Amino acid sequence: MDLKSIIYRKEEGIAIATLNRPDRMNALNNQMMVELGMVVSDVGSDKEVRVLVITGAGRGFCAGGDFSYSEIRRGEVDADASHRVGLEMDFTAEMESVPGKVLDDNLSRIIVGIQRLSKPVIASVNGAAVGFGFDLALTCDMRIGSEKSRFRVQFTKLALSTGAGGTWLLPRVVGLPKACELIYTGDMIEGEEAAKIGLLNHMVPSESLEAETIKLARKVADGPPIATGFNKLQIYKGLQMDLEMALLVNGLLEGRCLMTGDHVEGIRAFAEKRNPVFKGE
């Protein structure tokens, strides 16, 4: 893939996507939105990849939509003009189309695509994650950050309703009361508080963030990919099921796992007191 705004590499089953617009704090424009969707699609189709890591270049994770704040401060752009750099969505036309249609197909491809991906996704939050950047981190299965990690529901400060699934995602991560507070106030959450409320799975020193992220990704990648994919499916679909249905789905998927070579390898490795080598078959 020829990517302009994302650095994308793969190493031993781990795919790493680095949002690469550091001069704009990795703010989202149309190009990055399309390319991020391409990355998610590629990870889904590559049998060698077992986990995806998303992070940002420079000081930020992702500053949300690319509003031209600097240009507004310098008087180069009027605040009431169409000042979003590269993000041109005709909301009126979309709202008048088929009821229930997602406002932007690329945005949906990213947020829904990450959750439907049969492989775990880790957000390595190296700096500010606000607006869409916050929602992107939320839709990942796990988040690891440092004292430099910061989160904000930026939409509130811009007199917007959340635009990328935040009202669905945040209550499921931090609980309903805290989610309401963060969404209604738009307050900034620093790394330490983020770890305290469960927004971050792990908080590590900033100089160790990359190494600790890869360490976590390696632990996940070394797991059984078929079973891990089924577990991810059950986690998210289970949010919309009653217990009886969840148990039924669990039984069907466990039956499939029992027929895999990985299951046999797991039993053999446990008996031989060694680490299993799962092949995804």
Q: What share of the chain is helix, strand, coil (3-state, %, to 5)?
A: 50, 15, 35
Helix 243-258 × helix 261-271 angle, to 10°: 80
Per-residue pLDDT tens over the stretch 113-134: 999 999 999 999 999 999 999 9
DSSP E strand boundaries for 49-166: 51-56, 60-62, 121-125, 128-130, 142-145, 150-152
Instruction: List the end-to-end C-alpha distance of the chain, in Å, as a whole number.
Output: 27
Tokens of 33: 């939105």
CATH architecture entry for 6-221? Alpha-Beta Complex (3.90)
Q: Report the residue count for the chain.
A: 281
Instruction: Decide: 136 and 83 in contact? Cβ < 8 Å.
Output: no
CATH numeric code, 225-271: 1.10.12.10
Per-residue pLDDT tens over the stretch 90-106: 433 333 444 344 345 67
Show me where the domains of the chain are located.
6-221, 225-271
> Torsion over CA of 102, 103, 109 and 113, rounded to 10 degrees?
-50
Can you give the pTM of this predicted structure? 0.86
Average pLDDT over residues 180-194: 94
